[in-house]
Structure formats: C-alpha cells, structure tokens
C-alpha cells in the first residue's frame, strides 16, 4: 500500500494559554547570565551577608513580562525572605510530598498549584530540591539550588529566597504548613527559568511534570461530562494501572458545559480544578478503582467508593493490603472512585512516566528503559516537513530518521512491545523572543528486513510503505504517542508540519524492556581521490605550455592573483560569467597544488590544477539545473556526489554553514573552494589517521 493512500496530516492547534510562555533568562542563554559562581562558592561568601540573585532580582520585571497584565495591587508587593515571614522554618528533607498550595494575591495568577502528587518512592534521589539545604545556622546563605529538567538535561537553577508577599502572605504558591517554603522556592526557580512569574500563567500540567521529573507525559482527552470521546483507548485503565506500578505521577481535571473557574459540580467534585492521580487498582471481584487527591484537602467525591460509603465494607481489607496499608477514610482530600465514574466525570487524564535514572531502585524491574537522541531540522538540508510534502525540496524523506529495534515483548503481553515516544522542540530562544512554537510531530514506519536500517530511506521507499503509527501534529513544546508494536525494526521520522522550519529537538523513547536503538541514520561520508589526467595530444600540450609561458612571466610560475585573472577571463569568454573566481578560491588552488610551499604554481602543478578546475566547472554547469549560476543544497550534494564526494548529513551541514551565503546557496567559486578543501582534508585524514571519524575531522578542518 502506498504512502499516498494515507490521510493527509492536519495539525492540531493548541490554545496559547496552554503553554508556559515566553522569555527565558538563565543558563540556556549564557549571554544573558550574570552569576558565574557555584552554589558552594555562594554559600561560603554569604553565610552572614545573604545572597541576592542578580539574574532574577526582586523587582516588578521578575513578576510581570507585560505591563497590560499588571494587577492593581502590584504596588503592595514586598519581597521577604522566609525568616522574615515565619520564625519556625522548615525545609523538608523529602520535598516530594504533596503540594497543597494556594495563590493568594494577584489577579492574573488564578491557576493555583496543579498539585503534583509525587510519590516519595519515586524521588528518593532528591530530584528537584537537593538535600543539604536548610535554614539552619551554618548552612543558610539566602540561596537555594533547584534541579529542573530542560531539553534532555538536568539543570541547577540558583535563586535567592526573597519571595513576593502582600501583608506578609505569599502571593503565589504556599504550602499547607505555614512554616514550609520549599514549594515557593521551587516555583521561584521555575519562574526564573521562564523569565517571570507571569510567564507561568496558564501553565501546562504536562510541561511542569516533565520539567520536575524528566519524564514523558501523556494526555488523554476524555470528553466533557457524559460525552466520552472516541479517542479514549479501550485499555486506558490497564495503561493507568501499569503506569503507577512503574512509579508514574499524574493529574486529572474536569470540565462541563457552563462551568466557570473552580465551579462546584455534582458528586462533590470541582470543575476547572486539577486533581492529582495517586493509584489505580483492580480488585478480586473485577472492580476497577482509581485514587485521586484534591491538593486543597477539601471537597472530595461523594459517590460510590467515596470515604465512608457502603462499598468499602467488602473491599477495605483488600485495598489496604494492595496499597501497603495506605487506605485512609478521612476528609484529607484523598478519595477513591470507580474508573467508569472517573471516565464519566473527568475531562482529562495526564500521566507522567518516570525514567529509569530517577526511578525507585527497590523496584528497578518496573522502571522504564529510556533512550534519548538529539537532532536538528536545518533549512534546505533536513527540514522537510510532514508527509504532505513528500516530493518537495526539501521533502519528508530529508528529515532526520532514527532506527528503533524492538526485540523483547512486554512482561504481560506475549506478542507486543510498548514504546512511548516523545518529541520536544528544544529552542529556548523561540520562547524568549516571544515567537510561536512550531507545529511538530513524528511518524513511525516498520522495516521489512531483519537488520536495522543503516542508510536513510528515500522517497521511493516512503511512497511504497504505510506508517504504523504517528503522533498528533501540534504547536506544543512536546508531542507524545504510546504505541503497541510487534517485535521488529522500525524507523522514527520526527518532523515539523511545514518544511523549512528550523529547530533543535530531543527524541525520547521509553520501553518496558531493553531494546536496540541507534543514532540518526545518515549516509556515510566517503571521498574518492581521482587524480587521473585526461588524455591530451602533443599538439594541445605544446599549445597549453605556450599559453602558460605567456601568463606566467619570466619566473615561469603563476601566483594566486595571476591564476584568478586567467580563470576569470576564460570563464567570462566561454560561459558568460563575470568575476566567477574569488582570490580566496585561487589561493586555495595554489596551496593545494604547491607541495613545495613556494606560493606559486610551476607548469606541472598548474596543469593539474587547471584540469581539476575544468572538471569542477563542467560539473557545476551540468548540475546547475535552473541555470541560476548558483547551487542550492540539493544541487550541491548531487554535484559533489558526482565528483566522488559523498557527504553525510552532518558533513553537508558543515559545508553549507561554512561556504553557503545567507540564502543557503553556493556560487561557482565557493563550489570549487569546497571541492578543494574536501579533497585536501581527506588526503590529510588518510595520512594522519587521527582517532576520530571523518565527519569529526571535517568539522575540525573545514569549519574553522
């Protein structure tokens, strides 16, 4: 079945306020960074003179990134340290406890905390807030260090503990315990990473979960109350239960027609409110239960399996045993409900699967096995757009391609392998500059051969094969898709919806078993040396020598300037091209043909250089399909391949970045210069045999 029979891709546009929006100021943008000291250095220097963060100062600009959203009570804000708010301070040793947080003051900041019900066993490695920090004398310096995951790496974000308050009350997040301030400090670090507190407005639960856990988040749209969407997987309960066995964290929310923010719904639930999901269990009688928690500790579900309901008479002991004795029946915000009731009432379920690097070591067998790959869509090279642009230049086959080999099936499935695939566009500057996020997605294809693909697939292959899975295409920071696949070899193609859109990206794959993953598919760089001279008659040889004597002068040697003059005259007369050769190209030609390093070419050297230039000139004329006098990237790659220089995508990027102009096109003189540089680089590579790949060598030699 051909790929042309597949339905065209239609992007899903996300609401603007679903994104954690613009402006970033931190280690992601080193040019804006002012703090160069380590946390240890800061602590040593500020045990008495408490630290003030120069990157994120206590000024209105750290609160608001736009004046039109500045609330009327903003002038009442006072920045206070926790020691100025409360005397008996507490910074928990285990900061993964539930955030029961409130937003007290500013009008625009209506979101409240999303209530990340993080299980303690999941975060035994002190993720988010490192241990060894406290308000105790001898340790406290006014600074704290927070770990936040960004684009494949954990970052240490240093902030001071001056917090915005009104009348001594925290404006933003506050813990249920009045003497706990770690949630407010973590929020300040997150605000710093995003540029301001206002930038967190309407923040996405999935982005926050990802940033604080390094996990992959999945969102399931359940539909409005009573109207379940067709996209809900039939095995959603199985997915949810398995996720929590593997240490997942999650959240859920409900909306219904006519509901406002924080509206009270039937059954004791609150519409427009985020609940944390704690667990999912199947009882011996077949009942499927899900446990949720209201971060505010108020307003619980009062239907079937609610606290004190009659259903608990028969199942309380079993649930208590399955949860390790955690079953509680009190008005603490935690409650259970049947999964069918959950699907009826709730509108959205969000699950965050935790990577093996921070999973619970005691349950290592249940941790996800993870793979992370980094790549980039580069205009005119590897930014081909989606399958709607299969034959464009660039087109879909030009996108980066990543092989995936699935070998071992899931523990609870005899024939299938689970793969959760995530694609993140990793362009912090796009948000800092207040630009829209790109619409991104990925498509998965199964290979028919037994071996993992080594070379990129071409347009003919994609036209004759149908995909086995694909994500939604959305203008989100991250898109995710869970696939249940047969064992075998696959190729994942991450792409933007439109071609010619540039960005770095991070591709992650979570599997239940260790599988076979490789780096991005790329043609292997190879450069064939072709020093064979064309046959020349005795008569032409004599005529060529007389011509050499006329242009070389008494010393019978040609300098770069003399070479430039003769080449430009010939090209102008024969090909109607003015000033085709630059002095830089002619210098490179002289250097390549001058083994004695005298700065000029004798007759034999000039003859070899001339034959090489004539060959490259003929190739240029042949592959300049549009007769523009310039090569685009595709013409350049084809011409170099014809000349015996087959470049990988990495090597091609090096050449384009070094020699193409702003429009990513290459002139005749630059094409000849590229050919000379590549030929000389490969000669040195073979002679020196350095301990690096050809691509690494070309980066070192060419891109300088």
Just list the catalytic residues. Answer: 273, 294
- Burial tier of 12 (Cβ tally within 10 Å: 0-12, 13-18, 19+): middle
Question: For residue 394, is the peptide bond before it cis, meaning its omega torsion is within 30 degrees of 0?
Answer: yes
Extract the tokens encoding 86: 């409360």
Nearest to 303 by CA among 329, 342, 274: 342
Strand 666-667 to 630-631 pairing? antiparallel
Residue with tokens 């399958």: 387
DSSP 471: P
Nearest to 432 by CA among 14, 11, 28: 28
Extract the tokens encoding 619: 């190739």
Strand 334-338 to 249-253 pairing? unpaired
Query: Cβ(580)–Cβ(606) under 8 Å?
Result: no
- Burial tier of 608 (Cβ tally within 10 Å: 0-12, 13-18, 19+): middle
Dihedral, CA of residue 301, residue 302, residue 306 and residue 311, to nearest 10:
-150
**Cβ-based neighbour number of residue 190 at 10 Å:** 23
Name residues whose C-beta falls within 8 Å of residue 10's C-beta, 6 or more positions apart in sequence. Answer: 473
Give the integer Cα–Cα distance in Å for 152 and 424.
Answer: 9
Give the integer Cα–Cα distance in Å for 369 and 359.
Answer: 10
**Cβ-based neighbour number of residue 157 at 10 Å:** 21
Give the integer Cα–Cα distance in Å for 51 and 60.
Answer: 19
DSSP 95: T
**In what helix (H) or strand (E) does residue 615 lie, and over which residues does it extend?**
helix 603-623
Query: Cβ(404)–Cβ(419) under 8 Å?
Result: yes
Instruction: Report in angstroms the alpha-carbon separations of 541 from 55, 345, 538, 544, 571.
Output: 71, 90, 5, 5, 20
Q: What angle do CA 422, 428, 431 make, to 5 degrees?
A: 105
Q: At what angle do helices 603-623 and 538-552 cross, to 10 degrees?
A: 100
Q: DSSP alpha helices (H): ranges in 114-268?
A: 182-194, 205-213, 236-245
**In what helix (H) or strand (E) does residue 217 lie, and over which residues does it extend?**
strand 216-221
Give the integer Cα–Cα distance in Å for 126 and 130.
Answer: 5
Report the first-to-last Cα separation within the chain, whole angstroms: 47
Query: Cβ(395)–Cβ(499) under 8 Å?
Result: yes
- Dihedral sign, Cα of residue 202, residue 204, residue 209, residue 212: negative
Q: DSSP alpha helices (H): ranges in 371-516?
A: 428-432, 459-463
Residue 180 phi, psi dihedral angles, 5° rounding: -105, 130
Q: DSSP alpha helices (H): ranges in 268-383?
A: 312-322, 339-345
Strand 216-221 to 348-353 pairing? antiparallel
Instruction: Report in angstroms the alpha-carbon separations of 335 from 5, 226, 280.
Output: 48, 21, 12
Residue 300 phi, psi dihedral angles, 5° rounding: -105, 160
| C-alpha Rg value of the chain to the nearest Å | 32
């Amino acid at each position: 079945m051909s790929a042309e029979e597949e339905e065209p891709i239609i992007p899903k546009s996300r609401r603007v306020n679903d994104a954690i929006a613009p402006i970033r100021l931190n280690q992601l943008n080193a040019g804006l960074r002012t703090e160069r000291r380590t946390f240890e250095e800061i602590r040593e220097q500020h045990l008495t003179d408490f630290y003030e963060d120069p990157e994120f100062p206590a000024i209105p600009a750290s609160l608001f990134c736009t004046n039109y959203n500045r609330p009327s009570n903003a002038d009442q804000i006072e920045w206070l340290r926790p020691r100025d708010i409360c005397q008996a301070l507490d910074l928990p040793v285990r900061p993964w406890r539930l955030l029961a947080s409130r937003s007290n003051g500013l009008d625009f900041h209506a979101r409240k905390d999303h209530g990340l019900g993080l299980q303690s066993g999941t975060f035994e490695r002190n993720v988010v807030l490192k241990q060894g920090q406290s308000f105790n004398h001898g340790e406290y310096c006014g600074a704290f260090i927070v770990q936040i995951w960004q684009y494949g790496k954990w970052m240490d974000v240093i902030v001071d503990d001056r917090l915005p308050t009104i009348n001594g009350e925290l404006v933003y997040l506050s813990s249920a315990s009045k003497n706990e301030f770690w949630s407010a400090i973590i929020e300040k670090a997150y605000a710093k990473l995003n540029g301001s507190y206002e930038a967190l407005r309407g923040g996405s639960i999935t982005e926050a979960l990802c940033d604080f856990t390094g996990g992959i988040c999945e969102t399931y749209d359940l539909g409005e109350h009573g109207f379940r969407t067709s996209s809900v997987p039939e095995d959603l309960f199985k997915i949810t239960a398995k996720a929590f066995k593997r240490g997942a964290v999650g959240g859920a929310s409900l909306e219904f027609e006519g509901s406002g923010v924080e509206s009270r719904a039937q059954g004791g639930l609150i519409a427009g409110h985020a609940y944390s999901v704690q667990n999912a269990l199947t009882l011996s009688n077949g009942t499927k239960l899900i446990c949720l928690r209201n971060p505010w500790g108020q307003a619980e579900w009062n239907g079937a399996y609610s606290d004190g309901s009659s259903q608990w008479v028969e199942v309380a002991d079993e649930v208590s045993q399955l949860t390790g004795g955690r079953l509680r029946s009190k008005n603490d915000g935690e409650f259970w409900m049947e999964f069918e009731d959950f699907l009826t009432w709730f509108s959205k379920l969000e699950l965050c699967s935790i990577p093996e690097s921070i999973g619970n070591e005691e349950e290592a067998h249940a941790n996800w096995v993870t793979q992370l790959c980094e790549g980039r869509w580069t205009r005119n090279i590897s930014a081909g757009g989606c399958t709607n642009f299969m034959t464009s230049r660039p087109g879909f086959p030009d996108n980066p391609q990543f092989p995936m080999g699935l070998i071992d099936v899931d523990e609870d499935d005899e024939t299938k392998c689970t793969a959760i695939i995530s694609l993140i566009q990793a362009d912090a500057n796009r948000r800092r500059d207040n630009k829209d996020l790109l619409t991104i997605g990925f498509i998965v294809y199964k290979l028919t051969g037994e071996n993992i693909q080594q070379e990129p697939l071409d347009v003919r292959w994609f036209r004759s094969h149908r995909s086995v899975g694909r994500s939604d295409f959305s203008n989100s920071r991250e898109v995710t898709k869970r696939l249940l696949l047969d064992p075998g070899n696959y190729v994942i193609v991450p792409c933007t919806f439109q071609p010619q859109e540039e960005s770095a990206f991070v591709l992650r794959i979570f599997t239940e078993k260790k599988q076979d993953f490789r780096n991005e598919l790329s043609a292997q760089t190879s450069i064939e040396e072709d020093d064979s001279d064309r046959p020349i008659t005795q008569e032409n040889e004599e005529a060529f020598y007389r011509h050499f004597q006329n242009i070389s002068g008494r010393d019978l040697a040609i300098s770069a300037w003399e070479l430039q003059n003769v080449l430009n005259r010939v090209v102008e007369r024969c090909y109607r091209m003015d000033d085709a050769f630059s002095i830089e190209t002619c210098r490179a030609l002289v250097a390549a043909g001058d083994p004695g390093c005298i700065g000029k070419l004798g007759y034999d050297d000039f003859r070899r250089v001339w034959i090489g230039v004539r060959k490259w000139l003929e190739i240029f004329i042949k592959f300049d399909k549009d007769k523009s006098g310039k090569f685009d990237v595709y013409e350049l790659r084809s011409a170099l391949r014809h000349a015996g220089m087959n470049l990988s995508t990495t090597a091609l990027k090096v050449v384009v970045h070094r020699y193409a102009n702003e429009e990513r096109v290459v002139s005749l003189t630059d094409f000849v210069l590229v050919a000379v540089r590549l030929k000389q680089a490969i000669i040195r590579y073979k002679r020196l045999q350095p301990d690096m790949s050809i691509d690494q060598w070309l980066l070192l030699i060419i891109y300088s």
